[in-house]
């Protein structure tokens, strides 16, 4: 009677990533897209150009991004998140409320009025009517998320007795709008071609913080 063959050791299976789920490949594509968009602009850039710059096939490119618009928004979100993180860190770096709001406002406005951010806003606004889902995604992952994070900060200051705010979501949006006053809209419509100076940003943000605290700062009892 012949012996039964020895059982072969079971080799662990390597898990294959789902199509379009490899973060390294996604980063590679976004790096290539950034190179092309910066060099050629949105309108002149093509998916073929981006695939070549990213060293991937067009088939692979379309697995990750369905079109140029969605690719551009993903790139915006990556660049915006990297820069926005520093602005929000400013809120917790300084225990002085006025200083923290000022540092945050200045950092955020410098980001919002930059050439890249302005181009991004114009492009998304331009396609939002025919691609409303893309416009909503851009808003929810940018302005709405930012306002929610500021509202959370204001909630903590209310709990600490520094602010008296009934609706922190509304107050957060008010503060953002105050910081942008006269700076963002002229840039958005290209009426002003260059970003405002640091001195001008500081002037506007200082006025925004003063007005905001005049309305919401907690006053000592009896005053």
Summary mean pLDDT of the chain: 87
Phi and psi of 219, rounded to 5°? -90, 140
Query: Which two three-digit tokens encode residue 44?
Result: 């002149």
User: Are the CB atoms for 108 and 86 separated by under 8 Å?
Assistant: no
**Residue 202: exposure state from Cβ atoms within 10 A (0-12, 13-18, ≥19):** middle
pTM reported for the whole predicted model = 0.78
Collapsing DSSP to helix, strand or coil, 131 comes out as: coil
Q: What is the pLDDT of residue 81?
A: 76
Does the pLDDT at position 129 exceed 70? yes
pLDDT reported for residue 93: 78
Task: List the domains of the chain with CATH numbers.
Answer: 21-65 (1.10.10.60), 68-216 (1.10.357.10)
HEC string of 50-96 equals HHHHHCCCHHHHHHHCCCHHHHHHHHHHHHHHHHHHHHHHHHHHCCC
What digits encode the pLDDT tens for the residues 17-72?
555 679 999 999 999 998 998 888 888 899 999 999 999 999 999 999 999 988 98
């Amino acid at each position: 009677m012949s012996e039964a063959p020895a059982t072969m050791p079971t080799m662990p299976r390597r898990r294959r990533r789902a199509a379009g789920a490899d973060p390294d490949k996604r980063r590679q594509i976004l790096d290539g897209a950034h190179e092309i968009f910066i060099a050629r602009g949105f309108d002149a850039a093509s998916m073929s150009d981006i695939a070549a710059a990213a060293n991937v096939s067009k088939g692979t490119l379309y697995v990750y991004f369905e079109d140029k618009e969605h690719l551009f928004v993903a790139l915006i979100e990556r660049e915006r998140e990297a820069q926005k993180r520093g602005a929000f860190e400013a809120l917790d770096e300084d225990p002085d409320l006025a200083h923290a709001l000022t540092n945050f406002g200045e950092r955020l406005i410098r980001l919002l009025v930059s050439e890249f951010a302005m181009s991004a806003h114009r492009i998304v606004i331009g396609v939002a009517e025919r691609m409303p889902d893309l416009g909503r995604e851009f808003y929810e992952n940018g302005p709405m998320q930012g306002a929610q994070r500021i509202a959370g900060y204001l909630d903590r200051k209310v709990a600490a007795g520094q602010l008296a705010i009934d609706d922190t979501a509304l107050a957060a949006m008010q503060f953002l709008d105050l910081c942008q006053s006269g700076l963002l809209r002229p840039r958005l419509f290209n009426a002003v071609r260059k970003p405002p100076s640091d001195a001008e940003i500081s002037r506007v943000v200082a006025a925004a913080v003063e007005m905001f605290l005049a309305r919401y700062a907690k006053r000592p009892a009896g005053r």
